[in-house]
Structure 1
């Protein structure tokens, strides 16, 4: 018992006053008693034993005046702190009731709306603390150009990145919108993997919440108006979320050269699908449409998708099946988060798998070394065909989207992937025909606008008569004729003025030289790119280019054959391959009711 009493002695001595000396002496006497009893303790009006019950202990503690004073201070201080917190709580609550606060995260599309809208506000012209940025927020440069920049005729200024004024992250800016005062601030924080994340905060002095809706609508309209000539490109990140990476100018359909009927068939079918939501719903058919574009590389599969996206006014969401770490669950999550009206693009759908598409994912086996080199690494994709099929038309598949899939190996695709409901329309892209070669030539050398670069037949005849029997080269002057003999240069020079009749004649001559279905449209375009302002040289040199291309292809085929024979461990019988190259064909399959 001596140990607890010694502890009590130390505790009570800290709070002891003059009146508690007798109690301290009592404890000391108890500790010095050799018999361990309290019988000889003098009765001095203090307790003769240590209290054992709670009420007595509380009464004992309350008998110390110093402790009572400290308790009063603690209770009074706590009461004051509670009042202070309540006062600030009601103050901020009352203050914030006069404001409407909205926050925009950088990863959200609405952040771009507001930043573009703020960059065009007249208040930034007078702001004293702004941030200078070259970000265009996925728009054309005119949308965020600062005042006076477009007046500079310097080519260096016009070709460089444009400047924009943005709210500074170190200050609070004021903006007026429809008679309401608005406070604008930007904050930054460190996100995952050191990525900096920005947040835009707007505080509008108003009780009417409809003012925020009007602001969002105006900002969205201004953004879409500035983006009317662009299409947005989205890709998936490592967190299986869609991220806006770029905007690309719309490509006119007339710049895509295909065999007759293909472009019209695609655009008419896509427009009919987008306008038939009620028809699909009333008949219980999933509101989805799929297109499979297959054929030779460089034949225009991706180009027509780009052009259709601009014609339909839809954004493009690129789904990369070969992305490292993407599995069936992640693919289903990505497709389910697609917006209702968009184009989902799966390029080279066969290349995501190391072999022909199977119902199940391939087992992970160690690659075997090849006779002439290291082993070929298998695909890192974890997607099985079953997972792909469920993502396309499963329960969680998004409706309203248009799916485009491209492949160079149509035969390697599973029939389940190509069936109606998943890929409704199949279009085969072959190598360039003579018709395509002629149209491509005219696309290069016809002027961009009507009347530009073209001379009328009457003017052409007058020019011919003025030359006194000279040959009609199609050029409008002797100066242009001299330009023909000059070496090819960059596109800084203007092309010669040719009559429409002359361009038609030269395009037929160019097309007659091109063999049917032997070269891709990409290779023909690459050849003509070297003759952008030299149409006569293009017709003259195309024959030599064909011979060089054939020689190069023959050398590659010979090297490939030699490489294949070296890899064979045993001789095998030769296999003859016959290539049938018909014209473009369209197979239309409609999902039954």
Structure 2
């Protein structure tokens, strides 16, 4: 290194000496002149020639040029090779929030090579009945693990798996990617498949096969979707379809809704020819527990449609996000808005809003000041009535969907929300009738197909189910404490009696009854139940306490009815007393507020006397003088 420095300094010495001499001569001859820039290229060229005179520098330059050339060739070759390989591969990407991701996971779970992967992720999450994981061998049939959570295989993240599909090589990779355009830092799964083929037909066949397997796995189930924080739809699971026979309503209600929805789904061309938006809305209103949600579940199963739950009270939901959610709905689905009247902090009626605003401002005013230091209220839904109306039938509203909305207070809804085009069909659900009570009893105690009238009588005699009065009827199973009157009486602390409980133990077996005997018991049961007094949910809850004891259900129906009516009257009385106390409290607060206002105005009146008071004071002064 020292030798190279000496050579450089010895080579630069003549150049420096000549340059200094030229500058000195020029300066002495022409003191006012400046150095000409034409001498710079000569110096640079001599400097460059000097640099190239070193052999080490020439070697480094050769290495740089050759290295850059070979690196460029390598990149070009690998790029061409990648294009050549891609020309023989078909690639498909599936994201977690898309239904096709579920198709492929269900299809992969049935591949033998997938279960024999060397690098796996073990999880107890089986994704419901139709799992998209590969179960461990012997887990499903082993009775040892029936009471514990099962283990399942999952593909590891950022790992590539290889398998064969119809004699074609295929690779599968699952990765985690950040969700873009979201305030929340979330990740979602992405599945990428590469198939060694140049034909789209093989990839299309794979997708069709995966979809067929998924539909076969979900044949007796419906998928439920909910909205997530990113204003997208997330699959939360599948639920078993509910038979229409399990829904007990007044005659003709089920058929009306089912046939109307089925006719709508098949009338797309009819709507298009007449320029009518292809949308249908149903408003189910009535008392709680009358079967509104159950009927929607059953209709979705009969039509083979998925249910998309739209929660208007979701935190952070506003008009724009609601509009985006409804626009993302598929063409054939059931959109469900439950308890639409209770989804807002204020009623869905513009007239009531104005009245409530004026009343609240007049009554509260400055009396309801927020406490200092108290935390702010949690952010709730910011959906307005106009935003909801535009989302339902605006220009960008999705077509082909069926909307179901439920409410317990039909009068609290704005007429603009209930008009045709948004809610086309309104159906009222009332309390149970005697017909519904009779049909529910038959639904609970299904007659045996192999039991005749003679067998029915014999079994009744053997097991204690005779044709005597119902008050003397007994079951083969011991009655629960809920059936005895002792359970209803208060038990003192010093008593040694066991604590009372309600319900029935699931022991014994249900008696085999013929159709005639079941009809007879159902008629007796419906005669005891008063008309339009109890909801279907209340009747179902009572029969659940006697699910294997039909005679006890009939025998205890009268006591249950009396007890429920007494409890209802007691609750109504407490409610009235509470409302009266609240009214008295509000009246007292208003009176105190008026008195405070009068006290505030009194000093002002004394400080500023009127002209008549001044005249009286002057007269009194004159008289006294």
Does TM-score exceed 0.5, indicating one fold?
yes
1:453-472 correspondence to structure 2 within 5 Å: 455-461=451-457, 463=459, 471-472=466-467
Gap change, CA 1:53 and 1:334, over 3 Å in 2: farther
Kindly provide the CA deviation profile for residues 99-134 of structure 1, in whole angstroms up to 9, marking residues without a partner as x.
Answer: 222222222221111111111112234433333344
Higher helix share: 2
1:2-151 correspondence to structure 2 within 5 Å: 16=8, 18-26=10-18, 37=27, 51=37, 56=42, 59-63=45-49, 64-65=51-52, 66=54, 70-137=60-127, 139-140=129-130, 145-151=135-141
2:431–2:536 Cα contact (<8 Å) kept: yes
Kindly provide the CA deviation profile for residues 443-495 of structure 1, in whole angstroms up to 9, marking residues without a partner as x.
Answer: 11116xx73xx62223224557889x993479xxx9x9532657775436432
Gap change, CA 1:409 and 1:489, over 3 Å in 2: closer
Q: Distance in 2 between matches of 1:76 and 1:398?
A: 62
1:116–1:137 Cα contact (<8 Å) kept: no
Q: Distance in 2 between matches of 1:370 and 1:538?
A: 57
Q: Distance in 1 between matches of 2:201 and 2:353?
A: 55
Is residue 429 of structure 1 aligned with residue 429 of structure 2? yes
Deviation at 1:403, TM superposition (A): 0.7
Q: Hey, what does 2:514 align to over in structure 1?
A: 499
Kindly provide the CA deviation profile for residues 473-526 of structure 1, in whole angstroms up to 9, marking residues without a partner as x.
Answer: 79xxx9x95326577754364322122211111111111111111111111111
Deviation at 1:256, TM superposition (A): 0.7
Q: Distance in 1 between matches of 2:26 and 2:44?
A: 26
Kindly provide the CA deviation profile for residues 295-351 of structure 1, in whole angstroms up to 9, marking residues without a partner as x.
Answer: 111111111001101011001111111222222222221111111111111111111
Q: Hey, what does 1:203 align to over in structure 2?
A: 194
The 3-state SS of whatever aligns with 1:220 is helix
Compute the TM-score of the two structures, normalised by the length of structure 1: 0.81
**310-319 or 87-96: which moved more?**
87-96
Q: Hey, what does 2:242 align to over in structure 1?
A: 251
Q: Distance in 2 between matches of 1:95 and 1:361?
A: 68
Deviation at 1:439, TM superposition (A): 1.0
2:225–2:234 Cα contact (<8 Å) kept: yes
Higher Cα Rg, which structure: 2
Q: Hey, what does 1:417 align to over in structure 2?
A: 417
Q: Distance in 1 between matches of 2:409 and 2:11?
A: 102
Q: Distance in 1 between matches of 2:404 and 2:570?
A: 35
Q: Distance in 1 between matches of 2:106 and 2:125?
A: 10
2:102–2:132 Cα contact (<8 Å) kept: no
Q: Distance in 1 between matches of 2:169 and 2:465?
A: 75
2:109–2:115 Cα contact (<8 Å) kept: no
1:361–1:385 Cα contact (<8 Å) kept: no
Q: Hey, what does 1:563 align to over in structure 2?
A: 578
Gap change, CA 1:209 and 1:379, over 3 Å in 2: closer
Q: Distance in 1 between matches of 2:352 and 2:475?
A: 64
The 3-state SS of whatever aligns with 1:344 is strand
Q: In the alignment, which of 220, 223, 235 is matched to residue 232 of structure 1?
A: 223
Size of the aligned set, in residue pairs, is 541
1:217-296 correspondence to structure 2 within 5 Å: 217-296=208-287
Q: Distance in 1 between matches of 2:557 and 2:134?
A: 44
Q: In the alignment, which of 149, 172, 181 is matched to residue 184 of structure 1?
A: 172
Q: Distance in 2 between matches of 1:370 and 1:563?
A: 25
Q: Distance in 1 between matches of 2:348 and 2:578?
A: 26
Q: Distance in 1 between matches of 2:262 and 2:149?
A: 36
The 3-state SS of whatever aligns with 2:341 is helix
Gap change, CA 1:404 and 1:466, over 3 Å in 2: closer
Q: Distance in 2 between matches of 1:305 and 1:244?
A: 18
In the alignment, structure 1 segments of 5+ residues that lack a partner are: 1-11, 41-47, 572-593
Q: Distance in 1 between matches of 2:99 and 2:39?
A: 68
The 3-state SS of whatever aligns with 1:422 is coil
The 3-state SS of whatever aligns with 2:476 is helix
**390-399 or 554-563: which moved more?**
554-563
Q: Distance in 2 between matches of 1:14 and 1:422?
A: 94
**128-137 or 387-396: which moved more?**
128-137
Q: Hey, what does 1:299 align to over in structure 2?
A: 290
Deviation at 1:29, TM superposition (A): 6.4
RMSD after superposition: 3.8
**296-305 or 48-57: which moved more?**
48-57
Is residue 544 of structure 1 aligned with residue 559 of structure 2? yes
Q: Distance in 2 between matches of 1:92 and 1:280?
A: 50
The 3-state SS of whatever aligns with 1:350 is coil
In the alignment, structure 2 segments of 5+ residues that lack a partner are: 482-502, 589-625
Deviation at 1:254, TM superposition (A): 0.7
**368-377 or 220-229: which moved more?**
368-377
**167-176 or 561-570: which moved more?**
167-176
Q: Hey, what does 1:577 align to over in structure 2?
A: none
